[in-house]
Amino acid sequence: MSQIMPDETILLNLPKGGDPPWALLYPNTYGVGMANLGYHYIYAALKSRGVGVERIFVDTECKSLEEGRFLSEFPIVTASVSYEPDYVALLKMLHNSKVLLHWHRRALINGPVVGVGGAVSYINPLLFSSMVDFVCLGDGEVVVDHLIACLRSYMKHGNRRKLWEDLSASKHVYVPPLHNELVISKKANLGRKRGNLENLSASLGHSVWMTPKAAFGRTLLLELQRGCFRRCPYCVVPSNFGKARFRPVDELISLLYKFKTYNNFNVGLVTPEAGDHPDLDRLLDAINDCGRRVSFASLRIDALSEKMLKTMAIGGKKSITIAPETGSDSLRGSLKKHFTNETIIKKLAIAKDFGIRSVKMYFMIGLPGENDDDVRSIAELSKQVWELLKLKPVISISIFVPKPGTPFSNEPFVGISEGRRKLNILRGSLKGYGKVIKMRSVDLRGSLKEYTLSWYGLQEAEVLLDMIDDGDKDDLSCLAFSKEVVREQIFMLGF
Distance CA 276, CA 226 (A): 11
Nearer to ligand SF4 among residue 129 and residue 295 (C-beta): 295
Cβ 237 to ligand SF4 shortest distance, Å: 4
Nearest to 227 by CA among 208, 244, 205, 240: 244
- Cβ atoms of 65 and 55 within 8 Å: the answer is yes
Nearer to ligand SF4 among residue 183 and residue 235 (C-beta): 235
* Residue 228 touches ligand SF4, criterion: CB under 6 A: yes
* Residue 272 touches ligand SF4, criterion: CB under 6 A: yes
Residue 238-257 contact track with ligand SF4, rule CB under 6 A, x = bound: x-------------------
Nearest to 90 by CA among 28, 6, 161, 172: 28
- Cβ atoms of 175 and 141 within 8 Å: the answer is no
Q: Hey, how many other C-beta atoms are within 10 angstroms of the C-beta on 234?
A: 20
Out of 237, 430, 476, 492, the only residue in the binding site for ligand SF4 (CB under 6 A) is 237
Burial class (CB in 10 A: 0-12, 13-18, 19+), 284: buried
Cβ 255 to ligand SF4 shortest distance, Å: 23
* Residue 230 touches ligand SF4, criterion: CB under 6 A: yes
Cβ 403 to ligand SF4 shortest distance, Å: 11
Nearer to ligand SF4 among residue 64 and residue 225 (C-beta): 225
* Residue 324 touches ligand SF4, criterion: CB under 6 A: no
Q: Hey, how many other C-beta atoms are within 10 angstroms of the C-beta on 148?
A: 18
Out of 101, 232, 249, 331, the only residue in the binding site for ligand SF4 (CB under 6 A) is 232
SS3 93: helix
* Residue 235 touches ligand SF4, criterion: CB under 6 A: yes
* Residue 308 touches ligand SF4, criterion: CB under 6 A: no
Select the span of 231-239, 361-369, 449-457, 477-485 touching ligand SF4 (CB under 6 A).
231-239
Burial class (CB in 10 A: 0-12, 13-18, 19+), 438: middle
Distance CA 40, CA 249 (A): 21
- Cβ atoms of 359 and 393 within 8 Å: the answer is yes
* Residue 195 touches ligand SF4, criterion: CB under 6 A: no
Select the span of 55-63, 180-188, 204-212, 233-241 touching ligand SF4 (CB under 6 A).
233-241
Nearer to ligand SF4 among residue 54 and residue 325 (C-beta): 325
Nearest to 101 by CA among 72, 125, 122, 126: 72
* Residue 273 touches ligand SF4, criterion: CB under 6 A: yes
The contact set with ligand SF4 (CB under 6 A) reads 228, 230, 232, 235, 237-238, 272-273
